[in-house]
Structure 1
Amino acid sequence: MRRAEGPLFWAALAGASLLFGMGAGGITNAVRAAPTATVSINTELVRTALKLRLPKTAIGAIDCGRFGGLCEVVAGATLFYVDRGARFLMIGRLYDMETRSDLTAARLLELNPDLLVTGAAGKRDNADDQPAPAPVKAAKVDLSVLPPGGAIHWGPVNGPRLIVLSDFACSYCRHLSAELVKLGARIEERPISIFGAESRRKAEAVLCAADPAAALHAAYDGRPLRITAKCDVSGLDANEAFAKQHGFSGTPVIIRADGAVIEGFRPADQLKAFIDGGRA
């Protein structure tokens, strides 16, 4: 959202219907009166109310059919949510607790394929409310500094090799693993704990499992991980240090055998182009 709406705009948002009078109020009432089954196709009423309340914000797609009582609104590279009366506005992340997925992050990456997942929703720091620039990262890395420990190997042994820095709590890493299966790649997956202590616990459980590759897919599927005996997890510390050294603050990070790097989810066809020497 743009601060050009005015310095008092956000403070007054909750009472916006009073500021804009009966025009916006009538639209709000019409939306609220619409049956729940038809609201998802009656987004023009929401759009009209938003135009009255956010006259300087370019509103893109509006989806009121998938999020209970909320409507997802696209405004440039930003997502926000409003109620179906377009009176209350929320900026932040929307999670589906049944599927354990970050719906906001998924949509942001769909809109902006090169956007890092971590911290992407709701972070803006300049006057025009544009996405904050990502820190400069290495275009190529030296893989020889990574120890053998700390990696889970999976996929066909004769497949093209990719190294993936991931977090088992990252929904994009889960989606990426499905694309890598399609690709038939040989993966050296190196967990890093972007989402904190629980991510580290899962990484240790996977690494120390009797069958780490099977445990990896179980972790992505949300299945319980069997706790086994302790093992050497110093390789995970090396993964963390490697990520920090190169400024990788989000997952997934995909690294080609020659050290070339791309960040974020990519579908199988783009991964194939990357493996073949392209930019993906």
Structure 2
Amino acid sequence: MSATKLICRMGGLVRPSRVVIAASACVGLASLALAADVSNESSAVRGLLKTRLPKTAVSGVDCTKIRGLCEVTAGSNLFYVDGSARYLIIGRVYDMETRQDITAARLLEMNPDMLVGAAASANAAATSGEVQKAAAGAARADNVVPDSPRFLPLAELPKEGAIVWGHSAAPSVTVFSDFRCSYCRALSTVLRAMNVRVIERPISSLGSRDLSDRVYCAKNREEALHAAYAGEPIKAGPVCDTSGLDANEAFARKHGLNGTPVIVRSDGAVLEGYRPRPFLEKWLKEGRS
């Protein structure tokens, strides 16, 4: 047994001046041991993946972010495995405490020039055929992320959960948004300059549920909405019923809305991602013709 290990186990038998040094040594050794364990696990998983998925060029393995799971990147694609690399997961990981879509945030970090929804859709579509084949046999129908929709049944949504703004007598457009999404902010600027009535339905794809609650419970929701996009502080108002926001998020999950913004015409036709004004005006007009 080394001297350092002896001090760690018998710190009470040494003089106080040495206890501090011993404790520091123990903490340092523990940190080094933990880092080594994580590094070893990541290396082990990488090695196992070479055997199990020999045609997939794995570019990174990180076993530190989510307990029990290792994040695996293969180019611009993202999936997860357990520590034995036996179980492969293609899908979205949500943090239920922060209400953040960890997968969407990570995809945006990996693909900064892509929309969150576009990055997620691209990830699902471009994940190597080998990985998709490995996952297909174990996938249950009720656990598969739905494909991006072309039309949405807006009638399924309750009246609650919507923040209505813009020109009240103008044609309506529904937007599923996130107040921390820069493309949603850009879209809101475009829509403010157009002759439209916006029915905005916040969904917290980037962990913004607390902010959505504050906006929804504000005395003037439209004013609070634009303040949120501008990055201005939103004072917490009285507690209100936010079950409508829960309905928005349940609807988004059910219909495979993987990111924001999602723009829905009055006839249910869907656009995922930001679009400039000329495109939107033409697209909205097509829905009325």
Structure 1 length-normalised TM: 0.55
Percent identity between matched residues is 43
Contact 2:263 / 2:271 at 8 angstroms: preserved in 1?
yes
Q: How far is the alpha carbon of 1:159 from its aligned partner?
A: 2.1
1:263 matched to which residue of 2? 272
1:58 matched to which residue of 2? none
2:188 matched to which residue of 1? 177
Q: Which runs of 5+ in 2 are unaligned?
A: 1-54, 61-74, 77-107, 131-144
Provide closer, same or farther for how the CA distance between residues 232 and 272 of structure 1 changes in structure 2, counting only shifts above 3 A: same
Q: 1:158 aligns with which of 161, 169, 173?
A: 169
2:140 matched to which residue of 1? none
1:194 matched to which residue of 2? 205
Distance 1:229 1:176 in 2: 29
Distance 1:223 1:233 in 2: 21
Counterpart of 2:226, as a letter, is H
Provide closer, same or farther for how the CA distance between residues 7 and 173 of structure 1 changes in structure 2, counting only shifts above 3 A: closer
- Pair member with larger Rg: 2
Provide closer, same or farther for how the CA distance between residues 136 and 207 of structure 1 changes in structure 2, counting only shifts above 3 A: same
Once the two structures are superposed, what CA deviation does each residue of 1:58-103 show, in whole Å capped at 9, x if it has no partner? Answer: xxxxxxxxxxxxxxxxxxx97xxxxxxxxxxxxxxxxxxxxxxx79
Task: Give the aligned length.
Answer: 176
* More helix as a share of residues: 2
Q: How far is the alpha carbon of 1:140 from its aligned partner?
A: 1.3
Provide closer, same or farther for how the CA distance between residues 216 and 120 of structure 1 changes in structure 2, counting only shifts above 3 A: farther
Q: 1:228 aligns with which of 207, 212, 237?
A: 237
Once the two structures are superposed, what CA deviation does each residue of 1:152-195 show, in whole Å capped at 9, x if it has no partner? Answer: 11111122210000011111100110111122211000001101
Contact 1:163 / 1:187 at 8 angstroms: preserved in 2?
yes
Distance 2:159 2:56 in 1: 55
Distance 1:275 1:158 in 2: 15
Provide closer, same or farther for how the CA distance between residues 182 and 270 of structure 1 changes in structure 2, counting only shifts above 3 A: same
Q: 2:113 aligns with which of 107, 110, 114?
A: 107
Counterpart of 2:172, as a letter, is R
Provide closer, same or farther for how the CA distance between residues 174 and 181 of structure 1 changes in structure 2, counting only shifts above 3 A: same
Q: How far is the alpha carbon of 1:126 from its aligned partner?
A: 2.1
Runs (4+) of structure 1 exceeding 4 A deviation are 6-11, 102-106, 117-121
Contact 1:117 / 1:264 at 8 angstroms: preserved in 2?
no
Q: How far is the alpha carbon of 1:213 from its aligned partner?
A: 0.4
Q: Which runs of 5+ in 1 are unaligned?
A: 1-5, 12-76, 79-101, 129-133
Structure 2 length-normalised TM: 0.53
1:21-32 equivalences under 5 Å are none
Indicate whether 1:208 and 2:208 are aligned.
no
Contact 2:117 / 2:258 at 8 angstroms: preserved in 1?
no
Indicate whether 1:147 and 2:149 are aligned.
no
Provide closer, same or farther for how the CA distance between residues 140 and 119 of structure 1 changes in structure 2, counting only shifts above 3 A: closer
Contact 1:191 / 1:236 at 8 angstroms: preserved in 2?
yes
Distance 1:126 1:103 in 2: 20
Once the two structures are superposed, what CA deviation does each residue of 1:196-215 show, in whole Å capped at 9, x if it has no partner? Answer: 2xx10011000000000000
